[in-house]
A and B are shown apart, each in its own frame.
Chain A
Amino acid sequence: MISSTSKTILSIKDLHASVEDQHILHGVNLLVNEGEIHAIMGRNGSGKSTLSKVIAGHPSYKILSGSIHFKGTNILELAPEERARIGIFLGFQYPVEIPGVSNLEFLRVATNSRRKELLKSELDTFEFEDLVKERLKIVEMDPAFLERSVNEGFSGGEKKRNEILQMALLEPTISILDETDSGLDIDALRIVASGINKLSKPSSATILITHYQRLLNEITPDFVHIMADGKIIKTGDKDLAIDLEKTGYDFIDKNSKDREMAK
């Protein structure tokens, strides 16, 4: 899907960030263009989820230095809701349960916030129901989940489908999907992956954060990045993920040992 005239959607430069005074990101650089699918892999604690939260604007994370630009705009000054409205979507690793808040109402309010930004008319309850029924098909989700409280009592797989349903409704420019494959059985993985594929557009981009190659069998990435110690230490194509699956992350330790030795 990459064409020579691709425009940059997301540009991250030398990003350092901390949470609760712990320095987690140590200089992340990443460039994502229209139509691209990037996969970020790495061990637990390598900073993958932190990166996704920082892009989405989670208030617990502090930016120490560096920049994040979305379509040329510095987003570090923007509140999380403003980032979402201009087209940044974070698919949560652990979608939050919100008792008492109807999933349908939540989806409608969120969709209308985004539509307002896109200068589209707001949808009333009936119009929204038509839209949501159509988008439910993308993730093969039971409409009964619309009547429940947001994510409450959903199984792991249902929560992840609900995330992709939100992506389908919000039509983001960039989707950062944090371990969307975790907790999914093979069938659910296929459905979720096919949903993501259907939603990919030449004018949008996706970042998949994952531990495993299996998601990348379903969604072919243009770039695979490996994160360790809060930065991207290696970038390649889909073959890098295949190699990684075979050899594991041990080479990271070897590399760092070599660096230590060189010192």
Chain B
Amino acid sequence: MKSSAICREWINSLPPPQGYLKKEQTIGRELLLKKGMPSNKDEAWRLCNLNKLNSFLSLPEFNKRDLSSKIKSIFPEKDNDRERIIINPHENPIKDINLPNGIDKLSDMEIKENLGEIVKLTNIKNDVSVCLNQAASSELLALKIKSNFHESLEIVLPSIAENSVFTRIFLLIEEGAKLDLLQVFIGKNNSAQNHLIEIKLESNVELTHGLISMGEGHQSSSICTLAVEQSEKSKYSLHSIHHGWNYARFEPRIIQSKGEASTIMKGLQVTKSKEQIATHSLIRFEGPNGKLDQLQKAVASEYSHCIFNGSIAVPQNAQKTEAAQLSRNLLLSKRARIDTKPELEIIADDVSCTHGATVSQLQEEELFYLLSRGIDNDHANSLLLQGYYEEVVSNFPTSANKWNFIEKLIREIKK
């Protein structure tokens, strides 16, 4: 069957466009019908194991009637100083919760004005990750973080097995607000998740964003598109971990709309068995004096495959941009594969942009040093991996530790 026929069949299985995302659903479905699923001829999907995308179209879409039987999530207790929002797909996510002081629901007008605009700014051609989400998402979590809000927020998704799940989030962070945001996505057996998150940072906003994305069962897949628009004098730092997915694709796209802002991105992707995890990041500076500090780390073991594609665009009007990108990779097996590619498009002439990539194995001398102190081989390897993760992990808010993701990373990946 041709990919367009598969798309048509999937779209026909969805409820007809309806509700307040009707227009978005129509746009997504039309584009998908026109373009079909990606092929390896599309540069952005060249290295993707396309068979792994099938589950997004073949698994039954999650229906809220199944809620009690399919959702099996026990969340760690939340910290007192941290608000938690649990998203139930296909149900108004903020229907039953009391929003904390300083967080409001976005008005219909604000949604109309903003939704989809940031993604559009990123100018990605044949944007399949986004189309799939637009086509199927029927609910939206749209929040406004007001300037007096200086606290922490957690957005979590219950783990849903045997289904596909589509969630859409829009956050408008008002001038001067300070937010510490932790998002947690956990995939269960035979599931496919697609998340589309748009975040607009007004000027002088400080957002620290932790994203923990963990597949826990067999055959779990995830596609997450994160589109962020930064106004001047905003500070955005993104710390992400992807691990345990049979297939995962993470697309952080950041636009500094007037430059004059700072972005920090620290990502970690860890694969084992035959997993494939890809990060396709994009940052574009649309004004002068923008700053970027990006570190992407990957650890691949057994037969797995990690991909990193890091685009940085510095057009003519983005003079005095300072951008640094580093891709550091650890290959733990001869059969594992790591592909890493910086993509710098620099038109402005007065800029400082650096990039680098390293691929290595666990250092024999480091290992011998630990062994020579009586530490057994497994423990020594765990310590070294933990050390390798530390650069990314240490930036997560301390409450993220409750999700035990580091223990899982170390337990499952051993040399």
Q: Which of B369-385 contact A (CB under 8 A)?
A: 369-377, 379-380, 383-384
Whether, in the assembled complex, B368 has its beta carbon less than 8 Å from a beta carbon of chain A, the answer is: yes
Say which residue of B368, B373, B390 sits within 8 Å of A100 (CB atoms). B390
Closest to A82 in B: B374
Whether, in the assembled complex, B387 has its beta carbon less than 8 Å from a beta carbon of chain A, the answer is: yes
Q: Which of A42-66 contact B (CB under 8 A)?
A: 56-60
Whether, in the assembled complex, A75 has its beta carbon less than 8 Å from a beta carbon of chain B, the answer is: no
Shortest CB-to-CB span from B71 to chain A, Å, is 36
Interface residues on A, range: 20 to 34
Q: Which of A69-100 contact B (CB under 8 A)?
A: 79-81, 83-85, 90, 92, 95-96, 98-100
Closest to B383 in A: A101
Cα separation A101 to B377 with both chains bound (whole Å): 15
Report chain A residues within 8 Å CB of B257: none
Shortest CB-to-CB span from B50 to chain A, Å, is 36
A101, B379: Cβ atoms closer than 8 Å:
no
Report chain A residues within 8 Å CB of B373: 81, 84, 106, 110, 113, 166, 170
Whether, in the assembled complex, A38 has its beta carbon less than 8 Å from a beta carbon of chain B, the answer is: no
Closest to B387 in A: A100
Cα separation A200 to B366 with both chains bound (whole Å): 28
B372, A84: Cβ atoms closer than 8 Å:
yes
Report chain A residues within 8 Å CB of B370: 98, 106, 110
Shortest CB-to-CB span from A147 to chain B, Å, is 13
B372, A90: Cβ atoms closer than 8 Å:
yes
Given A99-B390, A100-B388, A109-B379, answer yes or no on A170-B374 (Cβ-Cβ < 8 Å).
Answer: yes
Given A60-B364, A101-B384, answer yes or no on A96-B369 (Cβ-Cβ < 8 Å).
Answer: yes
Shortest CB-to-CB span from B384 to chain A, Å, is 7
Shortest CB-to-CB span from B295 to chain A, Å, is 13
Q: Which of B342-372 contact A (CB under 8 A)?
A: 363-366, 368-372
Given A98-B387, A99-B390, answer yes or no on A84-B374 (Cβ-Cβ < 8 Å).
Answer: yes
14 residue pairs A–B, Cβ–Cβ below 8 Å? A56-B372, A57-B371, A84-B372, A92-B369, A96-B363, A96-B366, A96-B369, A98-B366, A98-B369, A98-B384, A100-B389, A109-B383, A113-B375, A170-B373
Report which A residues bind B (CB closer than 8 A). Answer: 56-60, 79-81, 83-85, 90, 92, 95-96, 98-101, 105-106, 109-110, 113-114, 117, 149-150, 166, 170
